[in-house]
């Protein structure tokens, strides 16, 4: 449900979706136990392809509105299996496949590419493989600030920060963020 998506990784009282994709935790939601081994993406791709295969031969009915959803992390995309088959989606026109990649800049063994920009890197990989990419970043709390940014200064500042800086901002106080992120007189205005 929409409420479950709004409460992703917040499973209190059964209102959210667990980030650990295993049927044991949510037997009525997750179908494949994939964890963080890079298996989720490739399983989703082949599930979407197999669904189309069955449908094209008349072996399943009412499949048009079915989607295969893969909920992934940015750290998981470092696994070779995660991105190794994404070209198949473009070639096979798998319009029944959706990847949602949460870019929290973390993986199990540490930060994800601290001096890079993982969102832009992933966008390039997926667009290059023929995917449609929609980026949902920052959340609606930034909408008013972005609307007032008529010169593009805030957007420019967002683009110049690398992921490691964002991890620092997330772990520090609001005063630190105001001083170091909004670091010019124009941004402070």
- Answer whether residue 95 is part of any domain: yes
Helix (H) or strand (E) holding 101, with range, is strand 97-102
pTM for this model (two decimals): 0.75
Is residue 79 domain-shared with residue 172, that is, in the same domain?
Answer: no
- 181 with 110, same domain: the answer is no
User: What pLDDT does residue 182 have?
Assistant: 93
Whether residues 53 and 124 share a domain: the answer is yes
On whether residue 91 sits in a domain, the answer given is yes
The share of the chain scoring above pLDDT 70, in percent, equals 89
How many other β-carbons are positioned within 10 Å of the β-carbon of residue 106? 14
Taking only the tens place, the pLDDT of each residue in 141-182 is: 889 989 999 999 999 999 999 888 888 898 899 999 999 999
In a domain? residue 106: yes
* pLDDT for 151: 94
The model's pLDDT over 106-121, given as tens digits with 9 standing for 90+, comes to 766 666 666 788 889 9
Cβ distance 87 to 94 under 8 Å?
no
Mean pLDDT of 53-64: 91
User: For residue 138, what pLDDT is reported?
Assistant: 80
């Amino acid at each position: 449900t929409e409420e479950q998506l709004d409460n992703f990784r917040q499973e209190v009282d059964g209102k959210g979706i667990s980030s650990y994709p295993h049927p044991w935790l949510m037997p009525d939601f997750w179908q494949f136990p994939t964890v963080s081994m890079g298996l989720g993406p490739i399983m989703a791709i082949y599930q979407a392809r197999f669904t189309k295969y069955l449908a094209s031969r008349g072996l399943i009915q009412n499949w048009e509105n079915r989607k295969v959803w893969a909920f992934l992390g940015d750290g998981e995309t470092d696994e070779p299996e995660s991105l190794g088959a994404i070209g198949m989606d473009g070639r096979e026109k798998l319009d029944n496949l959706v990847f949602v990649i949460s870019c929290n800049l973390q993986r199990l063994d540490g930060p994800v590419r601290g001096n890079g920009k993982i969102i832009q890197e992933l966008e390039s990989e997926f667009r290059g493989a023929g995917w449609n990419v929609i980026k949902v970043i920052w959340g609606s709390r930034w909408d008013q600030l972005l609307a007032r940014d008529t010169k593009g200064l805030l957007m420019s500042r967002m683009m110049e920060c690398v992921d490691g800086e964002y991890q620092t901002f997330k772990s520090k106080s609001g005063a630190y963020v105001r001083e170091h992120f909004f670091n010019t007189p124009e941004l402070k205005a």
